[in-house]
Amino acid sequence: MTLDDIVNLVGSFDGTLAQRPREGDGTPELAWGDVFFYYSPDGTVPTSTQPFATIVAKNYPGDELSRLDRPDAFRVNVIAGKQEFERLLGVPPREAAHAPQADTDDTLSAHPQYGTAGWLSVVNPSSQTESQIGELLESAHSVAKARYERRQH
């Protein structure tokens, strides 16, 4: 799977906005080249909700574990929630330090910074994790959509 494969997959989910920060758009330089996925049927970046998934293509300060400074390396991050996190990794999010870490390609792991909040990650997803990451992205989209719809009523 390439970064663009994932952008295209998530972009096919109804109401999804993929924000791709770049130079000159007012976003912080640190975010340029990354992708943030929101449920936003009106096509505007929400100001009061977090993305349901992200793709990062470089190391962030304090987040070098995944070695994203390698050519074509990227990490998919998706909110899974407490129950799904524990079901998939065998420990609750509060014990994310004891879960698989995001230092190995194509392996489902705890997010290096937000694992304790129920976020999962895959560095350079490929054959081992392709279907799993697709299911997680669909599920996170569904939760974000339901949350959006509750707020509208």
pLDDT at 105 over 80: yes
Average pLDDT value for residue range 138-145: 97
Query: Which band of pLDDT confidence, cut at 50, 70 and 90, is reported for residue 153?
Result: confident
Helix (H, G, I), strand (E, B) or coil at 37: strand
Helix (H, G, I), strand (E, B) or coil at 144: helix
Dihedral over alpha carbons 111, 11, 15, 119 (to 10 degrees): -10
**Distance, CA of 47 to chain centre:** 18
pLDDT at 152 over 90: no
pLDDT at 98 over 80: yes
Average pLDDT value for residue range 109-116: 96
Look at 153 and 91; give whichever has higher pLDDT.
Answer: 91
Average pLDDT value for residue range 125-139: 96
pTM: 0.95
What does the DSSP 8-state code read for residue 125? -
Tens-digit pLDDT profile for residues 47-82: 889 999 999 999 998 899 999 999 999 999 999 999
pLDDT at 90 over 90: yes
Please give the full DSSP string across 42-107, using - where no structure is assigned. Answer: TSS--SSS--SEEEE-SPBTTB-TT-TTSTT--EEEEE--HHHHHHHHSS-GGGGGGSPBTTSBT-
Query: Which band of pLDDT confidence, cut at 50, 70 and 90, is reported for residue 89?
Result: very high
